[in-house]
Amino acid sequence: MVTARAPATSANLGSGYDTFGVALERPADTVTVERASETSIDVTGAGAQYIPEDPDGNTVGAVAEALEAPAHISIDKGVRPASGLGSSAASAAAAALALNELYDRGHTPKELVSVAAKGEAVVSGTAHADNVAPSLLGGFTIIRGDDVTRVDADVSLVACLPEVAVSTRDAREVVPESLSMADHVETVGNAATLTAGMCRSDPTLVGEGMDDPVVTPARAELITGYHAVRDAAFDTGATGVTVSGAGPSLLAVCYPEKRRAVAGAMVEAFADAGVGARAYQTRVGRGATIL
């Protein structure tokens, strides 16, 4: 028996659509695997009732198949599904690491990224690595084709999760199919600024680089209260705010001493919009680990 923990993540970070990802210190999924003749799955924890236990419909089933590692897999969800915090990726990353250990496959965490991404295809239709890469490797990650670049960063974050759901498929459908040259130039400049900020662990640069004129405005319309919550976060000291992944969570960057105030203001603003929410006071975290 092997147990692994993999963290929640935030992808896109505004200007880095389908490219940037960051591991969060909390929350996280925990996955326990035991050898078996065929794969079976049970799920407990946050939103477990919405997660299929059929291996053909669950991210971890695809991971077990890719590794040729049949097992009884128990998933304890700390990351709610349809949250924009990489819920399916956390399960896939933890399962990949645990099954690799259980069957002594010998893959490095970086090699497991493509394996875990196959699990993502089960829920989103495509094998994206922007969530599984930071969940496995930790830190800030940049996806370029099959290549992953990882950067250590020490940046404080607030992830605010409202009690509504936005599916990844729906969120992808609202993304514009084209953009102007002006928006392209702005996005590239912002993404470069964000990357420099992560390399320097500078919340001001990271926040400035999260601005995005293309994807975020389209997805923001799917989230009740987005604009009021964003304004409240900035008013209490956030240096940047954006939609986390496909949403509905919002991710705020701030200095450590502002984290509590930002979290409280975001929850209160959602409440004023008639939406319950919880906030995770967190930071850039480490990747998946064997427990």
Tell whether residue 86 is among the known ligand binding residues: yes
Q: How far apart are CA 178 and CA 257, in angstroms?
A: 40
Tell whether residue 87 is among the known ligand binding residues: yes
Name the token pair of 281: 């006071």
Tell whether residue 81 is among the known ligand binding residues: yes
Tell whether residue 85 is among the known ligand binding residues: yes
Q: How far apart are CA 236 and CA 253, in angstroms?
A: 11
Tell whether residue 167 is among the known ligand binding residues: no
Tell whether residue 80 is among the known ligand binding residues: yes
Q: How far apart are CA 36 and CA 14, in angstroms?
A: 42
* Closest listed residue to residue 14, CA positions, set 142, 187, 192: 187
Q: How far apart are CA 222 and CA 2, in angstroms?
A: 39
Tell whether residue 82 is among the known ligand binding residues: yes
- Virtual CA dihedral for 19, 10, 170, 176, nearest 10 degrees? -40
Main-chain dihedrals φ then ψ at residue 177, nearest 5 degrees: -85, -15
Left if phi > 0, otherwise alpha if psi is -120 to 50, otherwise beta: which for 131? alpha
Q: How far apart are CA 236 and CA 64, in angstroms?
A: 45
Left if phi > 0, otherwise alpha if psi is -120 to 50, otherwise beta: which for 102? alpha
Tell whether residue 27 is among the known ligand binding residues: no
Apex 221 CA angle, 218 and 227, nearest 5: 110
Give rounded-to-5 percent helix, strand, coil for the chain.
40, 25, 35
**Residue 40: how many CB atoms within 10 A of its CB?**
17
Tell whether residue 246 is among the known ligand binding residues: no
Annotated binding site: which residue ranges?
A: 80-90
Annotated binding site for ATP: which residue ranges?
A: 80-90
